Chain A
Amino acid sequence: MKAPSIVATAVIRVLCLGTAVGTAAALTPVLIAGRHYVFLAIVWAVIAVVLATYATARAVPAKYLVPGTLLLILFIVVPVLSTLQLSTTNYGDGTRTTRQETVERILANSVVQVPDSPKFNLSVATTGSPASGPITFFLVDQKSGALYSGTEAGLAPLERSAVTVTDNFVSAATGYTILTPLQVNAAADRLRDFTVPTGNGAIRQRGLHEAYEGRRTLQYDQGTGTITNTVTGVRYTTAREGDREYFVGPDGTRLSDQSWRSDVGLANYRRAFTDQHILSGFTRIFIWNVVFATASVALTFLVGLGLAVTLNDSRVRGQKVYRSVLLLPYAIPGFISILVWSGFYNQDFGLINQITGLHVNWLGSALWAKVALLLTNLWLGFPYMFLVSTGALQAIPSDLREAASIDGAGGFTAFRRITFPLLLVAVTPLLVASFAFNFNNYNVIELLTHGGPFSPGNPDAGATDILISYTVRLAFGGNGAQLGFAAAIATLLFAITAIMAAAQYRITRRLEEMN
């Protein structure tokens, strides 16, 4: 390497590493302020790995493996582990916050205004975006004119020199955006729950420009974990209902409908395997899932291989034309073709019923919807199998076949005994990978049938649902997100996939040993 390029690469290296460290350093105070300690650890761990790899001249393989591996770990491995962890919680709608956050929210909501409450002129500010950034209250005491800044962490007196005050309102502060009335309105939901804790209560917003320091009527006792109403003297204790906990009074009334995230151990798994309603759905879905994946691979492979064998004959003219036309379905983005196919199955106007003169209710009947899925998946998948088989056929030396024919093997025998086994060695890994892909082929299910048709008895599990589409519906569907439970089902799916991966490895190895 010439000298200038050594200097140049060194400069580039220092610049890149410097930028990385600088970004991490800039993020650190934000992360600490927001108490995102896990993030903080991850950010610096990534930086440490990058520095260790690229700042030294050692560990050459690592230099090539680190970028992709880091991304793989951050956005696949970590989420998978975190799915495992989520699956043992009751995470979902109404239980998104931690117990501590829920208690704080319940207490904050109990703040009431009393006649002698201090009042403040309020300016809402943020260091981030007006819609989602962290909120800061700039307050001017209406009686004394004293200045304060308040966050969720607490109240702090403010130097007059640090901000600009106009008409007894803070109108500008360096590093902060003061929200306009419109933006304050837009953030109403967040502001309703936002309080600045103080010694004897908390400061809350009232109206656009005013805040008051109210008194809490509820008090939390850290030792016993109970909440007491200081006005009525009623004590609320934690009670469990199903997989959720609430604060409940002695007479059984709930203090609040807010619950919190808590560990439920293996309850989600127990539910998947014991709840009759879910179990019947789960078993049925699992069987269809296996049938769907197997049939998809078998059909596409048979058709693709058949075509390859048929057209892979030197006497057939125009092989290139065939190949380029048959490539079409593979080249068109899947979401387009699947949506087009879903139109074909329309009972009244769909192309298929029109051409065949039938009046089949394709997507409305459980059986025909399954047929429709397999037919569509055949169209989507056979070009790939055709290309792969063609490639594999051409890689088989022709003298093997000649030798077979000299030994007296006819066309079909030669294919069955010589060509097919050799071809299978080459394509088996692709077949198993294709099985794994179709086993979790969410796109075709979601875009073609949405998992339907559904029976009225079980609106959660449709006739063509596979496990992944069922999981997504549990997690994000309309009936309230059951993220913890969905994570448990996802974990079961991971386990099934792992078993398939192991099976693929063994099959591949055995086939390679045979040759």
Chain B
Amino acid sequence: MSTGRWWREVGWRHGVGLVAVLFAVVPVAYVVSAAFNPLGTVASTGVIPKHLSLENFAALFDDPARPFARWLLNTLVVCVVVTGVQVFCSALAAYAFSRLRFRGRRGGQLSLLLIQMFPQFLAVIALYSMFTAIGEVVPALGLNTLLGYSLVLLGGSLGQVWLIKGFFDTIPRQLDEAAVVDGAGHATIFFRIILPLARPVLAVTGLLAFVSVIGEFLMASIFLTDTQAKTLAVGLYGIIAADRSNNLGVFAAGALLTALPVVLLFQFLQRYIVGGLTSGSVKD
């Protein structure tokens, strides 16, 4: 293939791709650069790191006014609880929708679809009053508690039904039938056959749920105002809202520690993610 023709047919594609890569990478590079920049100011930070130091990371863990380790722990607790319950509840419901035939199945699926289009935080006022009242009776579930906050987010515990059901539908029914012949009940089929086979989609939906919980900001900013109860989203926001220009370095260090594990997981699971996102979009 001549160079001219190569460029016309393939080369320009790399050109477009590189522009997109640049667009995608610049903000990320900026965070990395800011995190390692000891000056930590907006003015002294560029896309290419000019200085290298771990000062910001040390500062992050040093200041008792911003207990980063505590926020990290809070976030992990909330993420694990919410993700775990959400994926499990969604898998249960997906099994019912995929394998069982019952009256109201279609209606149930449809109303679930409709309810999920309502953003929960439109009801934030009612939720706020509700949890104020709950807190008066059971203080461990009220405002400023991780348990209460997790419960609020668990309103969306059927959020992953469609992706998981899409996957369950691809598992051959002959497997279930064979198990029934062997005397297995519906619970055995679900726990021993379907769930183990569905590991890839469970991992992907778990990851998607995890990221959305890490990034959840509105509810957290209203429910978790006590420094010790904050999650990373509210806590790190507080750092940069307090002094946008001078706290940039510390914020970036925190952001890096938050995003890095998620990014790595995404890379690890990426081929499942591409497949998962589209398989869930087709409904029956």
Indicate, yes or no, whether A interacts with B: yes
Q: Which A residues have a C-beta under 8 Å from some C-beta of B?
A: 1, 9, 27, 30-31, 34, 36, 39, 60-61, 64-65, 67-69, 71-72, 74-80, 82-83, 86, 128-129, 132-133, 303, 306-307, 310-311, 313, 315-316, 322-337, 339-344, 346, 348-351, 379, 382-384, 387-388, 390-392, 395, 426-427, 429-430, 433, 436, 440, 442-443, 446-447, 468, 471-472, 475-476, 483, 486-487, 490, 493-494, 497-498, 500-501, 504-505, 508
Instruction: Given A1-B188, A76-B115, A390-B274, output 7 extra A-B contacts at Cβ < 8 Å.
Output: A61-B100, A76-B156, A78-B130, A331-B263, A336-B258, A351-B30, A391-B277
Interface 1/0s, chain B 54-89, versus A by CB < 8 A? 000000000000000000000000000000010011
Whether the pair B120, A316 counts as a contact (CB closer than 8 A) is no
Q: Which residue in chain B gives the minimum CB-CB distance to A312? A: B13
Q: Is B243 an interface residue, CB under 8 A from the partner? A: no
Whether the pair A387, B277 counts as a contact (CB closer than 8 A) is yes
- On whether A333 and B120 interact (CB within 8 A), knowing A65-B93, A75-B152, A132-B136, the answer reads no
Q: Which residue in chain B gives the minimum CB-CB distance to A389? A: B278
The 3 closest A-B pairs by CB, nearest first: A75-B155, A68-B89, A391-B278
From A9, A79, A322, A327, give the contact of B266 (CB < 8 A).
A327
Whether the pair B158, A79 counts as a contact (CB closer than 8 A) is no
Interface 1/0s, chain B 259-284, versus A by CB < 8 A? 10011011100100111011001110
Whether the pair B121, A1 counts as a contact (CB closer than 8 A) is no
Q: Is B248 an interface residue, CB under 8 A from the partner? A: yes
Q: Is B180 an interface residue, CB under 8 A from the partner? A: no
Whether the pair A333, B259 counts as a contact (CB closer than 8 A) is yes
From A1, A388, A442, A501, give the contact of B277 (CB < 8 A).
A388
Whether the pair B240, A339 counts as a contact (CB closer than 8 A) is yes
- On whether A310 and B16 interact (CB within 8 A), knowing A65-B96, A72-B158, A497-B117, the answer reads yes
Whether the pair B155, A332 counts as a contact (CB closer than 8 A) is no
Q: Which residue in chain A gives the minimum CB-CB distance to B265? A: A331
Q: Which residue in chain A gives the minimum CB-CB distance to B26? A: A351
From B10, B95, B151, give the contact of A313 (CB < 8 A).
B10
A487, B190: Cα distance in complex, Å: 42
A68, B160: Cα distance in complex, Å: 11
On chain B, the residues within 8 Å of A328 by CB distance are 24-25, 28, 263
Q: Is B242 an interface residue, CB under 8 A from the partner? A: no
The interface size bin for chain B is: 35 or more
Q: Which residue in chain B gives the minimum CB-CB distance to A332? A: B259
On chain A, the residues within 8 Å of B42 by CB distance are 343, 346, 349-350
- Selected A-B contacts with CB under 8 Å, 10 pairs: A34-B137, A69-B158, A86-B129, A310-B16, A313-B10, A348-B43, A443-B218, A447-B237, A494-B118, A497-B117
Whether the pair B278, A340 counts as a contact (CB closer than 8 A) is no
On chain B, the residues within 8 Å of A348 by CB distance are 43
A349, B39: Cα distance in complex, Å: 14
Q: Is B4 an interface residue, CB under 8 A from the partner? A: no
Whether the pair A395, B278 counts as a contact (CB closer than 8 A) is yes
Whether the pair A340, B262 counts as a contact (CB closer than 8 A) is no
On chain A, the residues within 8 Å of B85 by CB distance are 71
On chain A, the residues within 8 Å of B197 by CB distance are none
Whether the pair A331, B158 counts as a contact (CB closer than 8 A) is no
Whether the pair B281, A429 counts as a contact (CB closer than 8 A) is yes
On chain A, the residues within 8 Å of B195 by CB distance are none
A86, B129: Cα distance in complex, Å: 10
On chain B, the residues within 8 Å of A132 by CB distance are 135-136, 139, 142
Shortest Cβ distance from B48 into chain A, in angstroms?
12
- On whether A339 and B27 interact (CB within 8 A), knowing A34-B137, A83-B126, the answer reads no
Shortest Cβ distance from B55 into chain A, in angstroms?
19
A324, B126: Cα distance in complex, Å: 41
A313, B8: Cα distance in complex, Å: 13
Whether the pair A310, B17 counts as a contact (CB closer than 8 A) is yes
Whether the pair A68, B222 counts as a contact (CB closer than 8 A) is no
Shortest Cβ distance from B90 into chain A, in angstroms?
7
A160, B134: Cα distance in complex, Å: 34
Shortest Cβ distance from A422 into chain B, in angstroms?
12
Interface 1/0s, chain B 174-208, versus A by CB < 8 A? 00000000011111101000000000000000000
A477, B155: Cα distance in complex, Å: 25
From B9, B110, B119, B217, give the contact of A335 (CB < 8 A).
B217
Shortest Cβ distance from A60 into chain B, in angstroms?
6
Which residues 129-176 of B have a CB within 8 angstroms of A? Answer: 129-130, 133-139, 142, 151-152, 154-158, 161
Whether the pair B122, A83 counts as a contact (CB closer than 8 A) is yes
Whether the pair B184, A1 counts as a contact (CB closer than 8 A) is yes
Whether the pair B262, A325 counts as a contact (CB closer than 8 A) is no
Whether the pair B137, A30 counts as a contact (CB closer than 8 A) is yes
Whether the pair A333, B233 counts as a contact (CB closer than 8 A) is yes
From A340, A472, A497, A500, give the contact of B27 (CB < 8 A).
A340
Q: Which residue in chain B gives the minimum CB-CB distance to A393? A: B278
Whether the pair B275, A326 counts as a contact (CB closer than 8 A) is no
Shortest Cβ distance from B228 into chain A, in angstroms?
14
Shortest Cβ distance from A40 into chain B, in angstroms?
10
Whether the pair B30, A340 counts as a contact (CB closer than 8 A) is yes
A453, B252: Cα distance in complex, Å: 26
Whether the pair B248, A476 counts as a contact (CB closer than 8 A) is no
Shortest Cβ distance from A395 into chain B, in angstroms?
7
- On whether A387 and B17 interact (CB within 8 A), knowing A331-B263, A340-B30, A487-B125, the answer reads no
- On whether A335 and B236 interact (CB within 8 A), knowing A313-B10, A313-B13, the answer reads yes
A220, B120: Cα distance in complex, Å: 42
A468, B120: Cα distance in complex, Å: 11
Whether the pair B259, A336 counts as a contact (CB closer than 8 A) is yes
Whether the pair A325, B21 counts as a contact (CB closer than 8 A) is yes
Whether the pair A446, B115 counts as a contact (CB closer than 8 A) is no
A501, B252: Cα distance in complex, Å: 38
A325, B117: Cα distance in complex, Å: 30
Whether the pair A476, B237 counts as a contact (CB closer than 8 A) is no
Whether the pair B20, A333 counts as a contact (CB closer than 8 A) is no
- On whether A426 and B92 interact (CB within 8 A), knowing A344-B27, A351-B30, A493-B122, the answer reads no
Q: Is B244 an interface residue, CB under 8 A from the partner? A: yes
Whether the pair B152, A133 counts as a contact (CB closer than 8 A) is no
A139, B282: Cα distance in complex, Å: 69
On chain A, the residues within 8 Å of B259 by CB distance are 331-333, 336
A340, B251: Cα distance in complex, Å: 9
Whether the pair B281, A71 counts as a contact (CB closer than 8 A) is no
- On whether A79 and B281 interact (CB within 8 A), knowing A315-B9, A324-B267, A335-B217, the answer reads no
From B92, B215, B240, B248, give the contact of A334 (CB < 8 A).
B215
